Amino acid sequence: MTPQRWNATERYAADVFGQEDEVLRAIAEATRSAGLPPISVSAEEGRLLMILASLTPGRLAVELGSLGGYSGTWLARGLDPAGRLITIEADPHHADVAESAFRTAGIAHQVEVRRGRALAVLPGLADELGPESVDVAFVDAEKVEYPDYFRLLEPLIAPGGLYLADNVYGTGDSWIDEPDGNPGIAAIDEMNRMVAGNARFEAVAIPIRTGLLIARRRE
Ligand code: SAH
Ligand code: MG
């Protein structure tokens, strides 16, 4: 697989599997025009998040890192119609843009944006939700905190539930198999190995965009 070959494969995947409806296109555009960084999941990865969520009971999802609400909208679409998404965002401007996206998507009644840093918000949220209550967790916030995210979220995942994490093969600048002193990369590697070595989960990461970890809590 040469870089050229990989780019061509990605273009093909985006062309064939990356369709978006008007709502998702509008959310992507609103994210751009609000000046947020271009680091949302791709449409193909978003579609995968939706498919994965729809394979669970889809009662409750928790996302870390809302940005403009793009991945959250895909995730929410995979939930049960009565299911809920709680998405945590540290940047108040991003949280505003995400809330507006969820209104655009007509899912504001299902989605709650919790403002604050994930590690500050999660302990209280864990008490509130209770153990084994989350069908899907999607981690996409601060890379150096990835090991702590898994430690805090692990007890919350329901049997059969999913723990998903973005950028687990790299961040775009640094790659997981080329340690360059980047603390984010070291932390992602630590989390990957922690999840892979956890006997309560089956885990694999697929090279979609910069890598998606898919871990399923055993029944
Ligand atoms: N999941 C989004 C992209 C998230 S980008 C999507 O695909 O559409 C990462 C987001 O995490 C940014 O909005 C950033 O502000 C937020 N973030 C960074 N550090 C955080 C932290 N410690 N806690 C919560 N959010 C954080
Ligand atoms: Mg990401």
* Choice from 20, 25, 36, 39 to test ligand 1 binding pocket (greatest atom count within 8 A of CB): 39
The domains of the chain, with CATH numbers, are 3-217 (3.40.50.150)
- Tell me the mean pLDDT in the region 78-95: 98
pTM over 0.95: yes
Ligand 1 site residues (CB inside 6 A) read 39-41, 64-67, 70-71, 88-91, 94, 117-118, 140-142, 145
Q: Quote the CA–CA distance of 99 and 87 in Å, as a whole number.
A: 10
pLDDT digits (tens, 9 = 90+) for 38-76: 999 999 999 999 999 999 999 999 999 999 999 999 999
Q: Are strands 201-206 and 212-217 parallel, antiparallel or unpaired?
A: antiparallel
pLDDT band at 132 (very low <50, low <70, confident <90, very high): very high
Please give the number of the atom of ligand 1 that sits closest to the Cα of 41.
7
> Cα dihedral sign for 205, 206, 210, 213?
negative
DSSP conformational letter for 41: P
Average pLDDT over residues 124-149: 98
Report whether pLDDT(172) > 90.
no
> Dihedral, CA atoms, 36, 113, 79, 145, nearest 10 degrees?
70
Residues 61 and 133 sit within 8 Å (Cβ to Cβ):
no
| Whole-number pLDDT of residue 108 | 98
